[in-house]
A and B are shown apart, each in its own frame.
Chain A
């Protein structure tokens, strides 16, 4: 950097940023006079209300031989209707499952119960499960939105 530019830099450094308004200071005074509230945990509980039923549904389907509930193939399990082989031929089988991350947001720093600072991130996924009938090649795809909150302890260097 040449001398002129250094002089110019020094001139800029000598400029003092304008102070915030008195009104902002008054707002801070009011806000800081109130004891800090912990961040509500409701969003995290809400996630479980979505994630757990979704997980339960997937588990239920897996115990039904991979058929989604209510799908006609489920009837094939009824005793006396078809042989076990026929049932296998007409049933849908899970062939693919994927989790696609569609968005993330950084919700900033939070303080854990033990005082550890942590960063809270919210991730939104779409979980997609595909079933296919190996005989007819009919397929069914089921997509479920899912939200996940991660609280990651951090340390500042």
Chain B
């Protein structure tokens, strides 16, 4: 986990630090990039105005806020079923999850495709751990799991993702 940025930083500096990670997390729980940006906006404004002075890891607080905003949005719009039933065959709306140098773009596309094919409950833990930089304890609290379950889902997710990529390589 990164150390907390100094209090004196303005919101733009904070957002540059946390915005990309939050957006990636939000995309696990929303149907489109537009929805994900909406929930990131709501969560970040709430954090900046009301929670910034609280003790604890900013990222954990922000992820909690993002997840709740995503669920509220799904409830409001009756989108929960659609979200849960959405296809995992391809990246949700064609927008890249990661930014990489041009020469690595093929690998990025393969990884993003493979991410969509692993079980959502594993992908959620993987994203929170690797790119959200949360600990297993924090992930467990966030998702209502035991830390052991979070850790085992993470290991399964890594193995499943690697297998998906290997299979994709084999099939050209």
Chain A interface residues (CB < 8 Å from chain B)? 1, 4-5, 8-9, 12-13, 15-21, 23-25, 27-28, 31-32, 36, 106, 108-111, 117, 156-157
Residues of B within 8 A of A12 (CB): 111, 126, 130, 158, 161
In the complex, what residues of A have CB within 8 A of residue B108's CB?
A: 15
Q: Please determine whether A109 and B37 come into contact, CB atoms closer than 8 angstroms.
A: no
Cα of A23 to Cα of B95 in the assembled complex, Å: 15
Chain B residue contacts of A108, Cβ below 8 A: 46, 65, 68
Residues of A within 8 A of B54 (CB): 117, 156
Cβ–Cβ < 8 Å partners of B134 in chain A: none
What number of A-B contacts does a CB cutoff of 8 Å give?
96
Contact A8 to B158, CB < 8 A, known contacts A15-B98, A16-B20: yes
Interface size on B, residues (CB 8 A): 41
Beta-carbon contact of B68 and A15 below 8 Å: no
The reply to whether B96 and A18 contact each other, CB–CB distance below 8 Å, is yes
Q: Enumerate B99-150 residues with CB–CB distance to A below 8 Å.
A: 99-100, 108, 111, 126, 130-131
Contact A5 B99 (CB under 8 A): no
Q: Are B162 and A5 in touch, CB under 8 angstroms?
A: yes
Q: Is the CB of A17 within 8 A of B155?
A: no
Tell me if B167 counts as interface (CB < 8 A to partner A): no
How far in angstroms is the closest Cβ of chain A from B27?
A: 9
In the complex, the answer to whether B41 meets A19 with C-beta atoms within 8 Å is: no
Given A15-B100, A18-B95, A156-B56, are A9 and B158 neighbors across the interface (CB < 8 Å)? yes
Instruction: Check if A24 sits within 8 Å of B20, measured CB to CB.
Output: no
CA A39 – CA B102 in complex, angstroms? 46
- B168 interface contact, C-beta 8 A: no
Given contacts A8-B161, A25-B12, 10 further A-B contacts (CB under 8 A): A1-B155, A8-B162, A18-B99, A20-B15, A21-B37, A28-B45, A32-B45, A108-B65, A109-B65, A157-B56
Tell me whether B23 and A17 are in contact (CB under 8 A).
yes
**Bound complex: CA A28 to CA B12 (Å):** 9
